[in-house]
A = this chain, B = another copy of it.
């Protein structure tokens, strides 16, 4: 059975020793969604048309957030990211915005946390910019989609 790796034998938190691991190409993709009122959703779409670009600001925030991951997550290793990209899908039926964050590096540990942090900061920024219109927005379905590279190899989330 697998064990938590972020504790030593005494059960104390550690930043795991990855000194002996090889540097390999890594990629991770994470996504999440924020759902909102129809009114709020329509306003975000208008912004895409030119005025008040909520998603443009959120994208910048998400990229910068991904770079701050090792500062925010206590036991995370610092990695020099070689790519961060954030894409949006506007989902009409549910009046929600889906954010997908892709991160790459060449390093000794994976970039799952960076991709997830990129998603979270992106969603939080959307919330911040829209909260004057709708305080009831909800963030959900935030998970790792897939990752590759490293000893544990490929992970692909099962479709639900």
Q: Which residues of A contact B (CB under 8 A)?
A: 1-8, 10-19, 21, 25, 32, 39, 43, 47, 50-54, 56-57, 59-61, 63-65, 67-68, 70-87, 104-108, 112-113, 116-117, 120-121, 123-125, 127-133, 135-144, 147, 155, 157-158
The 8 closest A-B pairs by CB, nearest first: A11-B51, A140-B140, A17-B83, A15-B84, A7-B52, A139-B142, A19-B82, A5-B132
Contact partner of A13 among B57, B120, B141, CB < 8 A?
A: B57
Docked-complex contact B138 and A141, CB < 8 angstroms: yes
CA–CA, A59 and B21, complex, Å: 24
Closest Cβ of chain B to A17, distance in Å, is 4
Candidate in A47, A76, A155 with the most chain B CB atoms within 10 angstroms:
A76
Residues of B within 8 A of A71 (CB): 64, 67-68
CA–CA, A47 and B50, complex, Å: 11
Residues of B within 8 A of A14 (CB): 63, 83-86
Docked-complex contact A128 and B67, CB < 8 angstroms: no
Candidate in A14, A39, A43, A108 with the most chain B CB atoms within 10 angstroms:
A14
CA–CA, A24 and B114, complex, Å: 25
CA–CA, A87 and B141, complex, Å: 22
